[in-house]
Structure 1
């Protein structure tokens, strides 16, 4: 398994963990695929313990972003900029504003994966992220605060 594929799988896992939607079947399928891929990676021996070549990956990460990371740099920076700028008078309004920005970032990263990945499973997951996050953005934009009691 290539370093690029490992980076995409790790990014997918982080994205899914950050956006855990509970019972959403698309997200559940993506979590299961990520778990299967991780298990296969460990079984293949491409993810290693501290006594093998795994330290090489830590050194490379400390040296700077890898090519796979660089592909996402612009979309990550824009997501963080939007999240920092998103505000609301109440915790509810701020949460919705920041989550819309966060989901827009997920869509942008999935679009990078669709543009650059040739792995059918990664492409399928990216398409699922775009569909789910776009639907959730629309749901959050439609949200209105509950009337005060």
Structure 2
């Protein structure tokens, strides 16, 4: 995504006013912005998602998934871990939960038997994978 990179570059340029290390300041500012974005409510995230050309104002099909997509992105952004492994597991659990939420929308709204079958497969497999990831324990070598 270009927005965080552009924000970091802009902050880096504006931080060069002689007050401390501009790179460190840019990193702090970007971290603060990312934290603020990750702590938005589902409604705020849906509005932002719509402003980017998704969700409200998009097709009725897109609108059906806007809230679940926004919530998935918010939860993935908030998920973290001390190591790459732990962060990966935390973020993927949220990603899979988002897939389940989207599949549940399809199960509720779709009348196409093949789409409903695929959505049920997603619910079953992603739920199983969430349980597998939740059971994962870091190895002592980490």
Cα shift at 1:65: 1.1
Instruction: Tell whether 2:85 aligns with 1:85.
Output: no
Displaced runs of 4+ in structure 1, greater than 4 A? none
Q: 2: CA distance between counterparts of 1:68 and 1:86?
A: 28
Q: CA RMSD in A?
A: 1.9
TM-score between the two structures when normalised by the length of structure 2: 0.60
Are 2:128 and 1:124 aligned?
no
TM-score between both structures, scaled by the size of structure 1: 0.57
In structure 2, what is the equivalent of residue 76 of structure 1?
69
Q: CA deviation at 1:113?
A: 0.1
Report the 3-state secondary structure (helix = DSSP H, G, I; strand = E; otherwise coil) of the residue aligned with 1:134.
helix
The structure whose Rg is larger is 2
Return the offset for 1:148: 1.4
Counterpart check, 1:135 vs 2:128: yes
Partner of 2:102: 109
Mark the runs of 5 or more structure 1 residues left unpaired by the alignment: 1-60
Ranked by relative contact order (alpha carbons within 8 Å, sequence separation 6 or more), the top structure is: 1
**Where does structure 2 lack aligned partners over 5 or more consecutive residues?**
1-53
